[in-house]
Amino acid sequence: MWFANFFIAGSITMVLPFISLYIEEFGNFSGSYVQNWSGWIFAITFVTAFIFSPVWGRIGDKYGRKNILILSSMGLGLSVFLMGFADSVWELFLLRLFMGIFTGFIPMSQALISTQTPKEIAGRVLGTLQTGSITGSLMGPLLGGALADSFGYASTFKWISITIFLSGFIVLFGVREILIKSTESAEGQQSYTSKEVLLHIAGNPVLLVVMLISTLVQIAHFSIQPILSLYVAEIHGPASIAFFSGMAFSAAGLGNLLMTRRWGRLGDRIGYIKILIFLLFMAGIVYFPGAFVTNIWQLVILRFLLGISIGGIIPVRIAYIRQEAPLSMQGEVLGYNTSLRFLGNIIGPALGGMLAGLFGFSAVFFVTSSLLIISGVIMLAAWYKHEYAGKRRKQTHPLSS
């Protein structure tokens, strides 16, 4: 699964540095037009992903996740291949919309590994798994930018589809799944209705907030993604723009790669929520100076620091869900969590494109920083009220509890 995630993440992120530049090839458009359409084309994938993630999660709980991963890679590969033949903004928009049906490959792989990992080491194992997608994300933008500069944008889409199909073959021949039903008799319940799953989430306030925070984090993280290459062009100039955009994308991946496993291990030891709160505040603080950079290297350093802080949020969050949700509903719970993440992926790029078009690039950094700090405050308040204060009361008044 590490190698499959590596190829999927690398392939998908290869297009990020030049998707807005690809739009410019379709016609003589104004800067604000390209910025707005970059946001919408980037975000539309996650509209269908938002709808389909719980569906795939529930199917995975019943029938296993391996077949869904294979189907997902085939759908992704086909969509990316056809993007190489797009010759209008609307064709690219519709292909990105279709791509969203199959976009949950990496979250589904996390659900697969999570359900077959002991709770006490879930953070470390999921952190290790995430290094596969991070390594791919790290190399993808650099390689994609270099390919685009050498062969053109359309040809790069066609080459990228090959590595996506390869991920499906890796899962088909390299992964053996042990279905949960055969190992879960101790829990006394084989399946849950969707209503019971939603009631379980609603009845656990900290779990609910962790999942809702997923949306805010993704809005913040993805607000800059579709316009980052345009920002790089503004501060660096047009020379080798796809390559330097790839470098800016990859810097965050490098920081992510170096720290994600360490954050997962720390979460296993001292608590997932404590680490999550710290990382949210750290990411908010690091994002803010991005509005004031004057050269590409300042931006690269800040992106690297952002990667360090963002690196632990996903594995720590999934490990907490693994801890709080029974095995037989974990796929669906993780599916809802993925949907909330994709909701943020829908709002974030559109918001970033709109803010950049109306108020300039600096506004995107200000809003993003604020959202991450607000997320940290909400998470801290929920944890203090429902976990920390509750434990203190039990310790102080053991008989009353």
**Residue-wise pLDDT tens digits, 335-353:** 788 788 878 877 887 788 7
Identity of the residue numbered 346: I
Q: Which residues of the chain have pLDDT under 50?
A: 182-188, 400-401
Two tokens, residue 131: 């290094």
> What is d(CA 46, CA 96) in angstroms, rounded to the nearest whole number?
9
Tell me the average pLDDT of the chain.
81
In a domain, 401, yes or no: no
Quickly list H helices, 116-204. 122-151, 153-174, 194-202
What local confidence, expressed as pLDDT, does residue 180 receive?
A: 55
Sign for the pseudo-dihedral over CA of 349, 350, 353, 359: negative
> What is d(CA 362, CA 355) in angstroms, rounded to the nearest whole number?
9
Residue with tokens 């194992």: 125
In a domain, 151, yes or no: yes
pLDDT in tens, 352-388: 878 887 888 888 889 989 989 999 999 999 888 877 6
In a domain, 259, yes or no: yes
What local confidence, expressed as pLDDT, does residue 318 receive?
A: 80
Nearest to 267 by CA among 130, 106, 111, 127: 127
Range of the domain at 258: 2-175+194-396
In a domain, 180, yes or no: no
- The count of structural domains within the chain is 1
Identity of the residue numbered 120: E
Return the DSSP state at 311: T
Domain CATH for 383: 1.20.1250.20
pLDDT in tens, 189-234: 556 777 888 888 888 888 889 888 888 888 887 788 767 777 888 8
In a domain, 187, yes or no: no
Nearest to 278 by CA among 250, 302, 312, 249: 312
Residues near 1 by Cβ (< 8 Å), separated by ≥ 6? 109, 112, 113, 129, 132, 171, 175
In a domain, 227, yes or no: yes
> What is d(CA 10, CA 205) in angstroms, rounded to the nearest whole number?
35
What local confidence, expressed as pLDDT, does residue 312 receive?
A: 80
What local confidence, expressed as pLDDT, does residue 398 receive?
A: 52
In a domain, 185, yes or no: no
What local confidence, expressed as pLDDT, does residue 278 receive?
A: 93
Residues near 246 by Cβ (< 8 Å), separated by ≥ 6? 16, 17, 140, 141, 142, 143, 144, 145, 146
What local confidence, expressed as pLDDT, does residue 281 receive?
A: 94
In a domain, 189, yes or no: no
